[in-house]
A and B are shown apart, each in its own frame.
Chain A
Amino acid sequence: MDADSDVALDILITNVVCVFRTRCHLNLRKIALEGANVIYKRDVGKVLMKLRKPRITATIWSSGKIICTGATSEEEAKFGARRLARSLQKLGFQVIFTDFKVVNVLAVCNMPFEIRLPEFTKNNRPHASYEPELHPAVCYRIKSLRATLQIFSTGSITVTELWK
């Protein structure tokens, strides 16, 4: 039942979320009018801007805070964020690229064997929590790495950021 040493366990990063600040106030209306790939949500007060090259979606607030999602690696996320800042610069804002921080990384992994969830929960009591009525996966939290793993009975595992 244990993983063979010959079988390659591949872990795929599917999403990287990062934030950064432009230390200036952004006029959302102007961005909405002149940007080619933006969605302006006026009721919430933000602009969604999508880039193609690194396929990312950025949420822009008028305070200058920007959240960037959809990248597939950390370098790509930074690259995309820089691109975004550059395009904002071109629109005429005095953008300074500061406080870049990767906030969340989502990865998916597949085990070649199935997992018995009730016994697994019993053996890993404090970390694992399993509630079959609510969600079919076991939620395993690692505090030291600040990670949450969702373990399904098929053997597929989703790794994401720890949230309380």
Chain B
Amino acid sequence: MTGRVCRGCGGTDIELDAARGDAVCTGCGSVLEDNIIVSEVQFVENSGGGSSAVGQFVSLDGAGKTPTLGGGFHVNLGKESRAQTLQNGRRQIHHLGNQLQLNQHCLDTAFNFFKMAVSKHLTRGRKMAHVIAACLYLVCRTEGTPHMLLDLSDLLQVNVYVLGKTFLLLARELCINAPAIDPCLYIPRFAHLLEFGEKNHEVSMTALRLLQRMKRDWMHTGRRPSGLCGAGHRPRALGCCAPVPMPDSRRAPPPPPALLVAARMHDFRRTVKEVISVVKVCESTLRKRLTEFEDTPTSQLTVDEFMKIDLEEECDPPSYTAGQRKLRLKQLEQVLSKKLEEVEGEISTYQDAIENELESSRPKAKGALANLTRDGSVEDTTSSVFGEDDAEDEELEAAASHLNKDFYQEILGSGLSSSSEGAGDPDGDTRPPALESLLGPLPTAASLGISDSIRECISSQSQDPTDACGDGELDLSGIDDLEIDRYILNEAEARVKAELWMRENAEYLREQREKEARIAKEKELGIYKEHKPKKSCKRREPIQASTAGEAIEKMLEQKKISSKINYSVLRDLNSKGGGGLQEEDAQPEGRTATRKLSRRKTPARRHRADPVTGVGKRLRPMVSAQPAKKAAAGEPLPLSPSTLGAEPARPTAVLVESGPVSYHPEDDPDEDDPDEDDGEPCVSALQMMGSGDYGCDGEEDDGY
């Protein structure tokens, strides 16, 4: 069809036969092409007589199965990393999903979630198993299947909170709103497990009614659904007339208590242990729910009444009632403390009077003590002790009294603030700052003024950074040096402390010493291997370069390749073979994507000098040095001659990119040392181009 010229006669009349796939010259009859690739549909006859089209389905994403050249390679070798990940993920999803008895539709949806997660790079840095479990649970939530996160964590033997974290992250990143789980969903499942036989349905219905009652009674918010279910099923000891105590598990979904009671109502005996093993809540939770339900008015109904009547009023949540009780207690306490205050005030006046009398008769006390003794009622008991103590303990006692003061103040509540302030003043400079800090956090009436205070906060935040920096000088205002001095031990104390610490951490120190001894011994024997902490693979950014030459330069700057490379020659190479280099990029990329470990050495400069002979030389060292790699090397070799053939005009350019190393005749001694590069014996051209996705140092040693 195109204007091709026949090689034999030079005629332009060429006939294409699509059926045979030939291109024949009508002048001389020479066959120009054989086995032309055609885009026709062929049909084949089936055994039944019908005909079907010939062909294979190829998946949209990822490469299809590579044709096995030379036969017998491992299947995964031909796939790229993304396809492998997806295939692996699919396998694991199906494995887990079958254990959970999820249907095919759910599994497919889960796989779609997984594909989305992979494309958003959410699988990086996370265990594949966690991500898979999160995908599956997401599907369970959206479909409304009665599977709990606990089930998944049971299967995987992973902490449920870890799974929950991954699940939450996944739901957030994929912008999927998982609908809240309704405890009613679990009832049929648990009922089935508890084996009620024929009455299964009835028990479930009863449990459902119980659950709904619990919901109205505010018992289910903030509780795990499975707990409520269990209580519902487990019936406590009750006759027909006795009230039905309905357990309510807030945290766990309400099912278990509901199931417990329902079962009992229908005269089934199910012990707590059985229910717990089915529902996976703790016994104490179950009991709690039961007692909570007992408090609700519904529990007063008999069985028959419950089935017929539905009480109108709603209860407050149990935690709310508990909170109310606490509030009442607090109020009582406050009243009591106020009364205490009054009594205290009286006593303190008497004590002051006595003190004054005593002071006038007693000799003058020491400085620090005097300050303290002038304080309020609290100090009096301790001050009498002071006079007798030694000077050394004086400071410690003072500190203790300080502490006591704080302690007492806290006990008597904030109402004492006024009296403590008065007592604190004579103390001197140390007290005011501490008092301010004590009084600071007291709650301010902020009901309506909240918006104002918020505005203030936000505006003040913007001002803070300006005065926070400073020039690094320590502002000593308000810092009491004396107290800080107390924090520093003297020599004797330091020794004692060191002794104590040594005794505490004896084991750790012993381990350290043993480790050092072991290392020393190994060093002597020469076996010592230094275990360097594994450096994490740095993700290198893909090099942005307009020409291949630029790319090589940039790559060389980034990567520290062998010192034996003559970089100047390399740069010259770029300038000359710039166009040719670009073309060859596509080829090696296509092939090296499969990570074939043909040895491609960086001394590309050597190619230039003697390309043709280099090829011949190259084959020899390749074969002799690595007979094991012949199979792998065999592949690129036939290809490179073909590329040579394809571009006879530019042999230099071809060999630079696609061919394996050709040794320069002068550099023969280097042949004997394949591993001349430090830890980088194999650098594919792709890596030279610096495609960062594959750039992990550790991977380069794969084949070795």
Contacts and interface: CB of A to CB of B under 8 A. Distances in A.
Interface in B426-451: 433-434, 437, 440-441, 443-448, 450
Contacts of A23: 472
B223 A5 contact: no
B55 to A, nearest CB: 47
Contact of B473 (A6, A96, A116, A122): A96
Contact of B223 (A53, A100, A116, A132): A132
A8 B474 contact: no
Contacts of B433: 53, 79
A140 interface: no
B181 interface: yes
Given A132-B251, A133-B225, A8 B164 contact: no
Interface in B486-501: 486-489, 493-494, 497-498, 501
Interface in B113-166: 148-150, 160-161, 164
A36 B491 CA distance: 11
Contact of B484 (A13, A87, A96, A97): A87
Among A5, A12, A76, A137, residue most surrounded by chain B Cβ atoms (within 10 Å): A76
Among A54, A125, A136, A152, residue most surrounded by chain B Cβ atoms (within 10 Å): A136
B489 A114 contact: no
A133 B403 contact: no
A137 B479 contact: no
Contacts of A101: 468
Interface in A1-59: 3-13, 23, 32-37, 40, 42-43, 51-54
A100 B112 CA distance: 47
A86 B477 CA distance: 11
Given A86-B481, A96-B473, A35 B444 contact: no
A60 interface: no
Contact of A133 (B164, B485, B487, B488): B164
Contact of B437 (A4, A54, A115, A133): A54
Contacts, number: 165
Nearest to B486: A36
A153 B221 contact: yes
Interface residues of A, number: 64
Interface stretch (B8-16, B313-321, B415-423): B313-321
A134 B164 contact: yes
A28 B444 CA distance: 42
Given A9-B446, A90-B488, A133 B224 contact: yes
A72 interface: yes
Among A91, A100, A133, A154, residue most surrounded by chain B Cβ atoms (within 10 Å): A133
Nearest to B446: A9
A63 interface: no
A95 B474 CA distance: 8
B164 A36 contact: no
B500 to A, nearest CB: 11
Interface in A68-121: 72-73, 75-76, 79, 82-83, 85-87, 89-91, 95-98, 100-101, 114-118, 121
B521 interface: no
Nearest to A39: B501
Contacts of B218: 114, 153
B279 to A, nearest CB: 13
Contact of B488 (A36, A95, A98): A36
B474 A10 contact: no
Nearest to B445: A8
Contacts of A82: 474-476, 478-479
B481 A133 contact: no
B317 A154 contact: yes
B270 interface: no
Tell me what chain A mostly uses at the interface: helix, strand, loop, or mixed.
loop
B488 A10 contact: no
A36 B489 contact: yes
B468 A36 contact: no
B440 A40 contact: no
B473 to A, nearest CB: 7
B474 A85 contact: yes
A75 B489 contact: no
Interface in B215-266: 218, 221-225, 250-251, 253
A9 B488 contact: no
Nearest to A114: B320
A41 to B, nearest CB: 9
A136 B250 contact: yes
B150 A133 contact: yes
B450 A86 contact: no
B437 A10 contact: no
A90 B485 contact: yes
A73 B440 CA distance: 8
B202 interface: no
Nearest to B474: A97
Nearest to B497: A33
B459 interface: no
B612 to A, nearest CB: 60
Contacts of B445: 8, 10
B478 A89 contact: no
B172 A129 contact: yes
Contacts of B222: 117, 132, 136-137, 152-153
A86 B475 CA distance: 9
Given A42-B508, A76-B440, A134-B149, 10 more contacts: A8-B446, A32-B501, A36-B489, A86-B474, A86-B479, A86-B481, A129-B168, A131-B167, A134-B161, A152-B222
Interface of B: 148-150, 160-161, 164, 167-168, 171-172, 177, 180-181, 218, 221-225, 250-251, 253, 316-317, 319-320, 323, 399, 403, 433-434, 437, 440-441, 443-448, 450, 468-470, 472-476, 478-481, 483-489, 493-494, 497-498, 501, 505, 508
6 residue pairs, one from A and one from B, having the closest CB atoms: A10-B443, A136-B222, A134-B164, A8-B445, A96-B472, A153-B222
Interface of A: 3-13, 23, 32-37, 40, 42-43, 51-54, 72-73, 75-76, 79, 82-83, 85-87, 89-91, 95-98, 100-101, 114-118, 121-122, 125, 129-134, 136-137, 152-155
